[in-house]
Amino acid sequence: MGFPGTWMTESESMVYRVVPKCACSTIGQIMFYSDHGRFFDGDIHDAAEGLHKWNMEASQPRITANVGGHTSLAFTCVRNPYTRILSSFFDKICGIQRNGRRYRGNLVPLLIQKYGVQVGSEDGSDDFDQIASFRRFLLFVRDTIRFRKPMEPDIHWSAMSGHISTFIVNGGRYDRIFFTEQFNAGMQGVLDAVDTPVKVDLAAIPKFNESEGHGPKRAHPVEDYFDDLSRHLMWEIYKRDFQLFRYDFDNPANKMPLGAVDLDEVHAKLGD
- Residue 26 sits in the same domain as residue 76: yes
- Residue 17 sits in the same domain as residue 62: yes
Q: How do 14-17 and 73-78 pair as beta strands?
A: parallel
Top pLDDT among 66 and 123 is at 66
> How much is the average pLDDT of 89-97?
89
**Is residue 144 in a domain?**
yes
> How much is the average pLDDT of 43-60?
96
- Residue 141 sits in the same domain as residue 222: yes
- Residue 46 sits in the same domain as residue 143: no
- Residue 17 sits in the same domain as residue 109: no
Domain count, the chain: 2
- Residue 151 sits in the same domain as residue 107: yes
The 10s digit of each residue's pLDDT in 132-146 is 999 999 999 999 999
Q: What is the pLDDT of residue 1?
A: 75
- Residue 10 sits in the same domain as residue 140: no
**Is residue 188 in a domain?**
yes
The 10s digit of each residue's pLDDT in 141-181 is 999 999 999 999 999 999 999 999 999 999 999 999 999 99
Q: What is the pLDDT of residue 210?
A: 63
**Is residue 93 in a domain?**
yes
Kind plus residue range of the DSSP H or E element containing 114 = helix 107-115
> How much is the average pLDDT of 95-100?
81
**Is residue 97 in a domain?**
yes
Q: What is the pLDDT of residue 213?
A: 62
The 10s digit of each residue's pLDDT in 197-227 is 999 999 999 888 766 666 788 999 999 999 9
The answer to whether residue 261 scores a pLDDT higher than 90 is yes
- Residue 186 sits in the same domain as residue 150: no
- Residue 33 sits in the same domain as residue 48: yes
The 10s digit of each residue's pLDDT in 114-130 is 999 998 766 556 789 99
Q: What CA–CA distances, in Å, run from 96 to 20, 23, 90, 91, 127?
A: 18, 20, 10, 8, 15
Tell how far CA 42 is from the center of its chain: 19
CB 81 within 8 A of CB 243: no
The answer to whether residue 194 scores a pLDDT higher than 60 is yes
**Is residue 246 in a domain?**
no
- Residue 146 sits in the same domain as residue 227: yes
The answer to whether residue 7 scores a pLDDT higher than 70 is yes
Q: How do 6-9 and 176-179 pair as beta strands?
A: unpaired
- Residue 51 sits in the same domain as residue 176: yes
Residue 67 sits in which domain range? 6-80+156-204
pTM for the structure as a whole: 0.94
CB 137 within 8 A of CB 129: no
